């Protein structure tokens, strides 16, 4: 699928729980992984997030699947390695989730996609502005 010339590709930070579930062909959210493979959106990552993805996939689906997914991500041109220069510390309910907000801010992401309620407080913070959405809300943004 090609993106219209006047439309920039969407950058979406994907929470670990959404990402690993989208890998299985039997998952109702597999469309997300398929659209990533097809290059229909940019997935900004950090080494910390990649490690968390790999750990979760390995625990839930096995090391072989985790290795295959990591190799795939490494080859995709729409997976961008981002360097985090600042820690915003905005997710007070679960500081481990700050890495997702930091990544979204660092790359000026269009969306942070999650089902984690810890991110709800982010919508009330005026700066930095992070557009937190669930997967159902995110899906229509990828239909060009």
Residue 6 lies in a domain: no
Report which DSSP code applies to 9. Answer: P
The CATH number assigned to the domain holding 46 equals 3.40.50
How far is 64 from 101, CA to CA, in rounded Å?
A: 29
How far is 99 from 22, CA to CA, in rounded Å?
A: 20
What are the tens digits of pLDDT across the range 102-124?
Answer: 788 788 899 999 887 666 767 77
For residues 10-14, give the mean pLDDT.
95
Q: How many domains does the chain have?
A: 1
What are the tens digits of pLDDT across the range 62-87?
Answer: 999 999 999 999 999 999 998 766 56
- Find out whether 90 and 122 touch, Cβ atoms under 8 Å: yes
Instruction: Pick the more confident residue, 143 or 10.
Output: 10
How far is 108 from 40, CA to CA, in rounded Å?
A: 17
Domain that residue 117 falls in? 12-142
Residue 4 lies in a domain: no
Residue 1 lies in a domain: no
Instruction: Pick the more confident residue, 127 or 41.
Output: 41
How far is 137 from 82, CA to CA, in rounded Å?
A: 25
Residue 131 lies in a domain: yes
What pLDDT does residue 90 have? 62
Residue 89 lies in a domain: yes
pLDDT range class, residue 22, cuts 50, 70, 90: very high
Q: How large a percentage of the chain has pLDDT more than 90?
A: 56
Residue 3 lies in a domain: no
Residue 102 lies in a domain: yes
């Amino acid at each position: 699928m090609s993106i219209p010339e006047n439309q920039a590709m969407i950058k979406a930070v994907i929470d670990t729980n959404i990402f690993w579930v989208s890998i299985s062909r039997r998952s109702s959210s597999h469309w997300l992984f398929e659209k990533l493979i097809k290059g229909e959106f940019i997935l900004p990552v950090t080494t910390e997030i990649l490690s968390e993805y790999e750990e979760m996939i390995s625990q839930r689906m096995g090391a072989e699947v985790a290795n295959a997914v990591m190799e795939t991500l490494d080859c995709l041109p729409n997976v961008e390695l981002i360097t985090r220069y600042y820690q915003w510390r905005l997710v007070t309910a679960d500081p481990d989730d700050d890495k997702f907000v930091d990544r979204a801010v660092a790359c000026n992401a269009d969306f942070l996609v999650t089902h984690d309620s810890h991110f709800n407080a982010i919508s009330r913070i005026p700066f930095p502005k992070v557009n937190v959405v669930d997967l159902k809300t995110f899906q229509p943004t990828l239909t060009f």
